[in-house]
Amino acid sequence: MKEKLKSSIREKEIQLSKLKEHIDKSEVCSDLYNRMLIEKAVLKKELDNLQNRSIVNRIKHLLPKREKLICDYFKG
């Protein structure tokens, strides 16, 4: 699964590099470039999620999350 995601990301990067030359010439190319950029970001996020599926991370998602207090943002 990881290899499939990695190869898909590589394909998107190649396609993006080819489209980058044409984004100024056509609105369709610009839209396609933006769509592919989003697809690449989604694939990267899926890959990150697969790599972070350790037991500790699985347990963290099951625990109740406490609300953040304003003082949490100022801890140094």
Is residue 28 included in any domain, yes or no?
yes
Range of the domain at 10: 1-47
Is residue 33 included in any domain, yes or no?
yes
Is residue 10 included in any domain, yes or no?
yes
pLDDT higher at 68 or 55: 68
Q: Structural domain tally of the chain?
A: 1
What is d(CA 53, CA 63) in angstroms, rounded to the nearest whole number? 15
Is residue 64 included in any domain, yes or no?
no
Is residue 27 included in any domain, yes or no?
yes
Is residue 31 included in any domain, yes or no?
yes
Is residue 23 included in any domain, yes or no?
yes
What is d(CA 53, CA 60) in angstroms, rounded to the nearest whole number? 11
Q: Is the pTM of this model over 0.75?
A: no
Alpha-carbon dihedral sign for residues 53, 54, 57, 59: positive
Is the distance from CB of 16 to CB of 35 less than 8 angstroms? no
pLDDT of amino acid 41: 92
Is residue 15 included in any domain, yes or no?
yes
Length of the chain: 76
Residue 74 has pLDDT above 60, yes or no: yes
Least confident of 11-15, 42-46, 60-64: 60-64
